[in-house]
C-alpha cells in the first residue's frame, strides 16, 4: 500500500456525478488498439477493476461475451448502470467491491482484467496476485492511463481559447484544503506510486507490451465542465470541502471567469498509454 496512507471509502465520495462530464475521454481509438493488441474476438470475459462510471468496460463491451465492472463506490456504479442503459449495452454488469476483495468478489475465468487509472489506489502486490488467479492462461492484465508529459508534437495545433488555469486551480484547492494532497480521510504528500512493471513482474506476469494511442485533438470546455473536472478528482472531491463547498464552488467560478471572460477554454486531448502483461500459459 501507499506509505503513510490508508484507503477509505470516501476517496471519490461525491465525484461520480461529475466524472463523465469533467474527465477528458481516453484517446479515440484506444479500444481498437486494445482489440488488435490482444486479438479480442467477442469471446471471453473482461473484468474492469475500479471501473468508475464504466469508462473502460462499456468501451470494450463489444469485444467480449460479458464484461464485469468492480468498484467500491456505489454512486460510480449507479452512473455506470445509467450509461449502460443509455448506450443499450446488454452484456455488462456491476459488482460493488474493492480490488482487494479479489479473487473472491467475482467468479473467475477472465480473458482480460483491466485497470483504468485505478491500480495505484490498490494494494498492488496483493491485487496483482489475485488477478493472476482470475485470468485464463495467456490472459492479459491491462493498465490504462493518460500519457504523462506527452511529446511536443501532440500539442502542435493552436488553442482557440485559454487553456484551463490548472496551476491557479491547484492554488485555490491548496488554499481551502492545505498544502498536502488530500485523499479520502488522509493525505498523500508523495502522490501515488508508479513502476507497475516491477509489481507485475514480481507477481509472475510476463510479455510486457506498451502502446501509446495518439491524441492531441482540441477539446473546447465550458466553466461547468472544468468545475466538474475539479470535483471528479480525488484530491478535490466534494466531500473534502465540508461546509465550505459552496464557498469553494463560488471562488472556482470566479477564478475561471477571470481566466476566460467568455467562459470558454480549450485543451489538447492527452495520448493514452496502455500497458499489457500476460499470465503465463
Ligand X SMILES: C[S@@+](CC[C@H](N)C(=O)[O-])C[C@H]1O[C@@H](n2cnc3c(N)ncnc32)[C@H](O)[C@@H]1O
Binding site for ligand X (CB under 6 A): 7, 11-12, 49-52, 55-56, 71-73, 76, 98-100, 116-118, 121-122
- Closest approach, Cβ 180 to ligand X, in A, equals 19
For the CB of residue 14, give the shortest distance to ligand X in the complex, in Å.
12
Residue 183 or 259 having the CB closest to ligand X: 183
Q: Compute the least distance from the CB of residue 272 to ligand X, in Å.
A: 10
Q: Among residues 116 and 164, whose Cβ is nearest to ligand X?
A: 116
Report the distance separating Cα 270 and Cα 145, nearest Å: 10
Grid cell digits, residue 124: 498492488
Of the pair 122, 236, the CB lying nearest ligand X is at 122
Given the complex with ligand X, which of 63 and 121 has the nearer CB atom? Answer: 121
Task: Tell me the backbone φ, ψ of residue 169, rounded to 5 degrees.
Answer: -65, -45
Q: Which is nearer to ligand X, 71 or 196 (CB)?
A: 71
Amino acid at each position: 500500500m501507499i506509505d503513510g496512507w490508508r484507503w477509505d471509502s470516501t476517496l471519490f465520495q461525491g465525484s461520480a456525478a461529475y466524472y463523465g462530464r469533467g474527465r477528458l475521454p481516453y484517446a479515440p481509438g484506444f479500444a481498437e488498439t486494445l482489440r488488435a493488441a490482444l486479438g479480442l474476438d467477442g469471446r471471453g470475459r473482461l473484468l474492469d477493476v475500479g471501473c468508475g462510471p464504466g469508462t473502460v468496460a462499456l468501451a470494450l463491451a463489444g469485444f467480449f461475451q460479458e464484461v464485469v465492472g468492480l468498484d467500491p463506490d456505489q454512486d460510480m456504479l449507479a452512473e455506470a448502470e445509467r450509461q449502460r442503459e443509455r448506450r443499450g449495452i446488454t452484456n455488462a454488469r456491476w459488482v460493488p467491491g474493492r480490488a482487494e476483495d479479489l479473487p473472491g468478489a467475482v467468479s473467475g475465468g477472465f480473458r482480460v482484467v483491466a485497470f483504468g487509472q485505478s491500480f495505484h489506489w490498490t494494494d498492488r502486490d496483493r491485487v496483482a496476485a489475485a488477478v493472476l488467479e482470475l485470468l485464463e492462461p495467456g490472459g492479459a492484465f491491462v493498465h490504462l492511463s493518460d500519457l504523462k508529459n506527452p511529446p511536443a508534437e501532440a500539442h502542435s495545433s493552436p488553442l482557440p481559447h485559454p487553456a484551463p488555469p490548472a496551476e491557479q486551480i491547484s492554488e485555490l484547492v491548496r488554499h481551502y484544503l492545505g498544502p498536502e494532497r488530500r485523499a479520502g480521510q488522509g493525505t498523500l504528500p508523495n502522490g501515488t506510486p508508479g513502476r507497475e512493471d516491477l509489481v507485475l513482474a514480481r507477481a509472475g506476469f510476463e510479455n510486457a507490451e506498451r502502446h501509446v494511442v495518439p491524441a492531441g485533438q482540441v477539446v473546447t470546455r465550458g466553466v461547468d465542465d472544468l468545475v466538474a473536472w475539479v470535483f471528479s478528482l480525488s484530491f478535490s472531491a466534494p466531500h473534502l470541502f465540508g461546509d465550505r463547498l459552496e464557498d469553494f464552488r463560488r471562488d472556482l467560478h470566479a477564478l475561471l471567469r477571470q481566466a476566460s471572460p467568455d467562459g470558454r477554454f480549450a485543451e489538447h486531448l492527452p495520448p493514452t498509454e496502455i500497458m499489457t502483461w500476460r499470465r503465463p500459459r
